């Protein structure tokens, strides 16, 4: 009784096939062959994901040997079609201007109850183990998950977003357009703020703005390492690198000017920073002065969004040390040992900049 349905599908007459299926379902609502032909129509009309779900469910419930063989063959054909469609879409994305530029792929945090489904989707997309995929999804902040060509990573990002896996992709060369100024101190003049700065070329100058021009603030700290000598179990001296201290940073973002004003607790000239001179006392610790400065910024900009999850992001980013070496950190610290943490902070602040800028443009 199913010959007419099969014939209609073979002739690509899906309207007739659907009508015949609906008619027969009134008498045989749970017949496995009707379910199978329903999946065939879905696949033929482009709903590959829906067809796949029907086939997989039917595969678990069906005991008809002949039908099982056809279901498995249909699933194999769907997987082939999905793979070819994906490769074609990626090839088109790579062919676009900038498609082969190096980019970073970022995963955003998800609540614990949503991680399992997201991990399965992530594992399938990148052909990795579901357990490892689950470990990659952060509980807070962002994780640098992949480095690759922008076209391919953009494709994966869009595909995952459609399946409720929060992520995004940014080309590394986007960082080059940001003007990062190292702030020496602030002065105020009526409603204007004058920042004494040093630019990327080491040239000193001033940058004027209003507090209302600042859209975002990013805080983070990078470690300072020191080599120490310890003794192993046999009493033999051995060198070991450990964290000696941390340097604090605070970035202020101005979207229209494509500018980041970068403050550093080791570089900021607190005694020059009117009107903070009344609260910042000579001889006070840098820590206290830094907290006073942050409190002052919060008082002047109470409504802006503040980002402070750099550390977990940095821990994921330093695994990509070769890529981080390509990034100009715009951090000038006297270090005895080089580290990827400086570039990781520049990357994090840049990503926050682009994300905030993008969100602002959306209706």
The CA-atom distances, in angstroms, between 51 and each of 2, 5, 48, 129, 147 are 19, 17, 5, 24, 33
Residue 277: per-residue pLDDT: 59
Residue 193 has what DSSP assignment?
E
Distance, C-alpha 222 to centroid of its chain:
20
* Alpha carbons 13 and 47: distance in angstroms, whole number: 16
Element (H, E) at 212: none
- CATH code of residue 152: 3.30.1390.10
Q: Could you tell me which residues come within 8 angstroms of residue 104 by beta carbon, excluding any fewer than 6 positions away?
A: 144, 146, 147, 153, 169, 170, 172, 323, 347, 351
Instruction: Note whether 244 and 357 are same-domain residues.
Output: yes
The answer to whether residues 194 and 272 belong to one domain is yes
Same domain, 118 and 30: no
Q: How many C-alpha atoms does 265 have within 13 Å on its Cβ side?
A: 20
DSSP 268-304: --GGG-TTGGGTSPTT--HHHHHHHHHHHHHHH-TTS
How many folded domains does the chain comprise?
3
Element (H, E) at 46: none
Q: Return the pLDDT at 243.
A: 83
As beta bridge partners, residue 180 has: 260
Mean pLDDT across the chain, nearest whole number? 90
* Sheet with 204-209: strands ordered across: 204-209, 192-198, 179-189, 259-264, 237-254, 216-231, 305-307
Check if the beta carbon of residue 159 is closer than 8 Å to that of residue 101.
Answer: no
Position 1 scores a pLDDT of: 63
Q: Which residue has the tokens 């082939």?
A: 80
Query: Are 232 and 357 part of one and the same domain?
Result: yes
Q: What is the pLDDT of residue 232?
A: 72
φ/ψ (deg, to 5) at 141: 70, -150
Is residue 110 within 8 Å of 120, Cβ to Cβ?
Answer: no
Same-domain check for residues 327 and 211: yes
In CATH, what number is assigned to the domain containing residue 11? 1.25.40.10
Token readout for 127 is: 């052909």
**β-pair type (102-108, 142-149):** antiparallel
Cα separation, 328 vs 36, whole angstroms: 57
Domain identity same for 211 and 337: yes
184 lies in the same domain as 313 = yes
Q: Are residues 19 and 152 in the same domain?
A: no
The rounded distance, in Å, linking the Cα atoms of 356 and 179 is: 16
- What residue numbers bound the domain in which 111 lies? 102-174
Q: Are residues 200 and 155 in the same domain?
A: no
- Cα dihedral 342→344→347→350 (10° resolution): -60
Residues 121 and 167 in one domain: yes
- Cα 199 from Cα 310, distance rounded (Å): 23
Residues 227 and 327 in one domain: yes
Looking at the fold, whether 217 and 343 belong to one and the same domain comes out as yes
In angstroms, the CA 125 to CA 157 distance is 10
Q: Which of 94, 116, 131 is the last residue before a domain boundary?
A: 94
Question: Which residue's entry shows tokens 């000038």?
Answer: 332
Rg of the chain over CA atoms, in angstroms? Answer: 29
- Nearest residue to 175 (alpha-carbon basis) of 360, 345, 361, 359: 345
Report how far residue 344's alpha carbon sits from residue 180's, in angstroms, rounded to the nearest whole number: 15
Other C-beta atoms within 10 Å of 165: how many?
A: 23
User: What digits encode the pLDDT tens for the residues 114-157?
Assistant: 999 999 999 989 989 999 999 999 999 999 999 999 999 999 99
Residue 239: what are its φ and ψ, rounded to 5°? -90, 145
Residue 235 Cα distances to 86, 230, 241, angstroms? 59, 9, 18
Of 146, 174, 202, the residue that ends a domain is 174
pLDDT of residue 275: 66
Residue range 258-313, pLDDT digits in tens: 999 999 999 999 888 776 656 666 667 889 889 989 999 999 999 999 999 999 99
List per-block mean pLDDT (blocks of 10 residues) for the chain, which spans 363 residues. Answer: 82 88 85 87 85 87 86 87 83 92 96 94 92 94 96 95 95 96 92 93 95 96 83 74 89 97 94 70 79 92 95 96 94 86 97 90 62
Cβ count within 10 A of residue 149: 18
> Which of 94, 114, 145 corresponds to the end of one domain?
94
Query: Which of helix, strand or coil describes residue 256?
Result: coil
How far is the C-alpha of 360 from the C-alpha of 253, rounded, in Å?
Answer: 13
């Amino acid at each position: 009784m199913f010959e007419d349905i099969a014939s209609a599908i073979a002739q690509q007459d899906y309207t007739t096939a659907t009508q015949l299926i609906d008619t027969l379902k009134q008498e045989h609502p749970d017949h496995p062959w009707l379910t199978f032909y329903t999946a065939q129509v879905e696949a033929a009309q482009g709903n590959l994901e829906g067809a796949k779900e029907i086939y997989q469910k039917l595969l678990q419930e069906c005991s008809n040997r002949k039908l099982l063989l056809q279901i498995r063959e249909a699933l194999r054909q769907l997987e082939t079609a999905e793979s070819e469609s994906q490769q074609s879409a990626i090839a088109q994305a790579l062919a676009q201007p900038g498609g082969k530029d190096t980019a970073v792929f970022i995963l955003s945090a998800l609540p614990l109850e949503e991680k399992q489904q997201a991990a399965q989707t992530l594992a399938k997309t990148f052909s990795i183990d579901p357990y490892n995929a689950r470990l990659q999804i952060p509980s807070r902040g962002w994780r640098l998950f992949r480095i690759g060509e922008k076209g391919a990573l953009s494709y994966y990002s869009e595909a995952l977003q459609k399946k409720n896996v929060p992520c995004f992709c940014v080309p590394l060369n986007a960082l080059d357009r940001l003007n990062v100024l190292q702030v020496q101190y602030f002065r105020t003049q009526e409603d204007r703020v004058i920042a004494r700065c040093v630019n990327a070329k080491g040239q000193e100058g001033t940058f004027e703005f209003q507090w209302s021009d600042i859209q975002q603030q990013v805080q983070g700290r990078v470690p300072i390492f020191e080599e120490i000598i310890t003794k192993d179990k046999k009493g033999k001296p051995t060198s070991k690198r450990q964290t000696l201290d941390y340097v604090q940073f605070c970035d202020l973002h101005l979207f229209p000017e494509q500018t980041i004003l970068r403050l550093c607790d080791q570089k900021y000239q607190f005694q020059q920073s009117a009107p903070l001179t009344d609260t910042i006392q000579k001889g006070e610790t840098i820590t206290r002065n830094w907290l006073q400065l942050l409190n002052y910024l919060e008082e002047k900009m109470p409504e802006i969004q503040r980002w402070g999850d750099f550390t977990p992001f940095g821990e994921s980013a330093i695994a990509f040390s070769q890529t981080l070496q390509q990034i100009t950190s715009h951090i000038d610290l006297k270090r005895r040992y080089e580290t990827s943490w400086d570039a990781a902070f520049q990357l994090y602040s840049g990503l926050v900049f682009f994300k905030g800028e993008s969100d602002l443009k959306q209706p």
